[in-house]
Amino acid sequence: MTTHSTELTVGRPRRGSIGTIFESLTSLVERRRLVWYLTISEIRNKGTNSLLGNVWWFLDPALQLFVYFLLVSVIFQQAQPAILLFLGAAILPWKWFTAALASATTSVRGREQVMRQIAFPHLVLPASSVLASVANFIFALVPLGALYLLYPDRLTPWALAVLPVAVVQFLWTIPAVIALSAVAVFFRDISNFIPHGLRIWFYLSPALFPIETLRAIGDRHPWFGFFVDINPFTWIFSGYRDALYYGRAPEWGPLGILALASIPATLLSIYLFRRVSPLFVKVL
Amino acid sequence: MAQRKISRVQAAPPPILLTGLGVQYDLRLSKKRKLRDTVLRDGRHSQSGKFWALRDVDFRVEAGESVAVIGPNGAGKSTMLQVLAGILEPSVGKVEVRGKIATLLQLGAGFDPELNARENTLLVGEFLGIPHKEMVRRVPAILEFAGLGEFAEAEVRTYSTGMRARLGFSVATSVEPDVLLLDEVLSTGDAAFIEKSRGRIMELMKRARAIVFVTHDLDSAATFCTRAIELEGGRIVADGPAKRVIAAYKKKMAKRSATASRSGQGARRGN
Q: How far is B108 from chain A (nearest CA, A)?
A: 9
List per-residue pLDDT tens for chain A, 284 residues long.
334 445 787 877 777 889 999 999 999 999 999 999 999 888 888 776 666 777 888 888 889 999 999 998 888 887 788 899 999 999 999 999 999 999 999 999 988 888 988 899 999 999 999 999 999 899 999 999 999 999 999 999 999 999 999 999 999 999 999 999 999 998 888 888 999 999 999 999 999 989 999 999 999 999 999 999 999 999 999 999 999 999 999 999 999 999 999 999 999 999 999 999 988 988 87
Integer Cα distance of A112 and A98 in angstroms:
23
pLDDT at B265 over 70: no
Q: Do A118 and B127 touch (CB under 8 A)?
A: yes
Q: Do A120 and B129 touch (CB under 8 A)?
A: yes
Nearest CB neighbour to B178, from listed A5, A44, A117: A5
Q: Do A1 and B101 touch (CB under 8 A)?
A: no
> Which residues 41-80 of B have a C-beta within 8 angstroms of A?
63-64
Instruction: Domain ranges for chain A, please list them.
Output: 35-283
In the sheet that holds B235-241, the strands lie side by side as: B101-104, B179-183, B210-214, B66-70, B227-232, B235-241
Q: Are A244 and A89 in contact, with CB atoms under 8 Å apart?
A: yes
A163 contact B CB<8A = no
Q: Using one digit for the tens of pLDDT, what is the confidence trace for B45-70?
A: 555 678 899 999 999 999 989 999 99
Q: Report the residue of chain A nearest B105, measured CA to CA.
A: A117
Q: Are A103 and A129 in contact, with CB atoms under 8 Å apart?
A: yes
Topology of the domain comprising B103-208: Rossmann fold (3.40.50)
Q: Decide: residue B212, CB within 10 A, 0-12 exposed, 13-18 middle, 19+ buried.
A: buried
The Cα-based distances of A62 to A84, A205, B155, B233 in angstroms read 10, 20, 31, 59
Residues of B with Cβ-Cβ distance to A10 under 8 angstroms: 83-86, 95-97, 101
Nearest CB neighbour to B99, from listed A7, A30, A282: A7
Q: Do A1 and B25 touch (CB under 8 A)?
A: no
Instruction: Domain ranges for chain B, please list them.
Output: 103-208
Nearest CB neighbour to A10, from listed B95, B105, B110: B95
pLDDT band at B112 (very low <50, low <70, confident <90, very high): confident
